[in-house]
Amino acid sequence: MALSLPEGFLPYADEWEKKIGAFIEYRPRGLPPDSGAVSGNGAGGPADECPAAELPPGAALLVRDLPFAVKDNIAVKGFSLSCGSKLLEKFISPYTATAVRKLEAAGGAVAGKTNLDEFGMGSSTDSSALKQTNNPWDQSRVAGGSSGGSAAAVAAGIVPYALGSDTGGSVRCPASFCGVVGLKPGYGAVSRYGLVAYASSLEGIGILADTAARCRAVFSVIRGKDPMDQTSRDAPPLSPRLYGGGNAGKKVIGILSAETIAKAIAAAAAQEAGGAGGKALEAAAQAAELEPETAGAFRAARERLAGLGHTLVDVDIPSLKYGVPAYYTIAAAEASANLARFDGIRYGRRPDWAENPDDLIDKAREAGFGAEVKLRILLGTFVLRSGFQDRYYLRAQRIRAGIRANFELYLGTPENAGTGGSSAPGGRFCDAILMPVFPTRAFGRGETGLSPFAQKAADLYTCCANLAGLPALAFPVGVEGGLPVGAQLLGRAFSEGTLLDIVEEYEARYPFPRPAGYKSFWEG
Ligand code: GLN
């Protein structure tokens, strides 16, 4: 679909894009209709078998005739699908992801593919092998990752919303760094068909949006069971409705503070004192400590939510202390299997010359993959080695089950949530749990950057929602020293509607901040 764009928009977008470099491929008007690549309704194929979402008329306007951006690890026919990697730099997608097809069917048009950490591995977007993306609030800083291009494009107003993917925080971290809304839907709520797999059991397609209302509209369009993804599901009948469910009202919000988590990690470190595990835990505790500005903004968010009439209760998820090691064990194991297809034969740039097939694969990978990707493939094959699975992979899966069970004690499940009997004070299940997103605001590069270890340790706050398969919604709660700070709400499975209700009410009272020079062409 070719878009008619508002007057003055193209020079505005050009100027921003020069500064932030959000896109790997940018086509503000979408692909020309004669390119044969437009894949909307009627083209035949998987999304056409999914019922179209019923949006209230006002909500439909939040997506209709509007451009959106798509992270470059999500397939859109005729567009690049580089995954931020040299290996796929020239790869053009022959098909379109279900989520994108559904948005096209609702009247949206893909305006481009956004930059990311290679294959989604990172928290800065600086691990992209193709280009650098800068934060719209301060161009010397990163946009967060791995969906940094999508978040930066939305924060700068180049698009009203964008798709990203979240395996361990990749939608919520950049949302927090750039000051936009970032939704990681619960596992299976949105089809993964067309998302290039990094760690399949943890990840899903997520949304970066300028407002909570826009995020809700986009989510209502893309969610639901898809015959092309056997893990996708429709929301069960009793789950909170997205529209017209009468979801308003005061909620019980659990507060999981950084101090509570830090205490648990410190206790574990003391238990293992002296050993390598103890030292690693100590370092992790330090890296997960909130800087004063994010701590202050988190406290303020908590007070504002109380001021809006919600009941706040403290919660503790003790198993979280092992969240990061469990996450990286599982993510690396799955990555090592998923990335095996990029061998220069089935996919990927082929070397000019090779001695034999093994040599061809070696050369393609050596030249095609960046350092972070190689590290994770090695780590993944190590934890899956025969004889080691008990020690690493299976142990990580047990920790994962523990984290999920811990969250369910407070949040309940779609089946039991109405019944009471929670371990939350007062015995009522929480409607949501408020947590920090990331210990710092957007960090700089070089001297002012975060070490690779600190970046991984910082995933503590985000990766637990992926381990537990729960929905999580990041939203801006303040601007400190000229940089936005986000917080996130986690909910029980299929409770995205509740999280959006809370955040939409919050936003009505405390409108989200925008970077200097921002202009909205997309008021809904
Ligand atoms: N920072 C995490 C990682 O590097 C999250 C990535 C993601 O969610 N795709 O794995």
CATH class for domain 9-248+472-509?
alpha beta
In this structure, what DSSP letter does residue 343 have?
S
Of 129, 133, 150, the closest CA to residue 142 belongs to 133
Ligand 1 pocket, mutate which of 126, 163, 170, 443 (most atoms under 8 A from CB): 170
Q: Which two tokens stand for residue 408?
A: 């369910």
Residue of minimum CA distance from atom 10 in ligand 1? 121
CA-CA-CA-CA torsion for 244, 506, 423, 462, nearest 10 degrees? Answer: 100
Catalytic residue among 39, 80, 123, 170: 170
Has 170 been annotated as catalytic?
A: yes
CA dist., res. 517 & res. 141, Å (int) = 17
Q: For ligand 1, what atom is nearest to the CA of residue 123? A: 1
Mean pLDDT of the chain: 92
Has 71 been annotated as catalytic?
A: yes
Tell me if 122 CB under 6 Å of ligand 1: yes
Contact 180, 159 (CB under 8 A): no
| For the chain, domain boundaries | 9-248+472-509
In this structure, what DSSP letter does residue 52 have?
P
Q: What is the pLDDT of residue 51?
A: 67
Tell me if 115 CB under 6 Å of ligand 1: no
The enclosing H or E element of 487 equals strand 483-490
Roughly how many angstroms between the first and final C-alpha of the chain, as a whole number?
20
Report pLDDT digits (tens) over 28-71.
988 766 665 544 434 444 445 566 777 898 899 999 999 999 99
Contact 415, 441 (CB under 8 A): no
CA dist., res. 163 & res. 203, Å (int) = 13
CA dist., res. 190 & res. 315, Å (int) = 28
Q: For ligand 1, what atom is nearest to the CA of residue 327? A: 10
Across 73-121, the runs of DSSP E, i.e. the strands, are 109-114
* 345-367 burial code (b ≥16 CB/10 A, e <16): eebbbbbeeeeeeeebbbbbbee
Report pLDDT digits (tens) over 147-205.
999 999 999 999 999 999 999 999 999 999 999 999 999 999 999 999 999 999 999 99
Residue of minimum CA distance from atom 5 in ligand 1? 168
Tell me if 191 CB under 6 Å of ligand 1: no
Q: What is the pLDDT of residue 450?
A: 94
Contacting residues for 53 by C-beta, under 8 A, at least 6 apart: 102, 106, 220, 221, 223, 224
Q: For ligand 1, what atom is nearest to the CA of residue 169? A: 8
Q: What is the pLDDT of residue 352?
A: 92
Contact 93, 79 (CB under 8 A): yes
Q: What is the pLDDT of residue 40?
A: 44
Model pTM score: 0.95
Q: What is the pLDDT of residue 425?
A: 60
* 86-116 burial code (b ≥16 CB/10 A, e <16): bbbbebebebbbbbbbbbbbbbbbbbbbbbb
Residues of the chain with pLDDT under 70: 1-2, 32-51, 246-248, 418-426, 524
Has 18 been annotated as catalytic?
A: no
Of 505, 518, 496, the closest CA to residue 206 belongs to 496
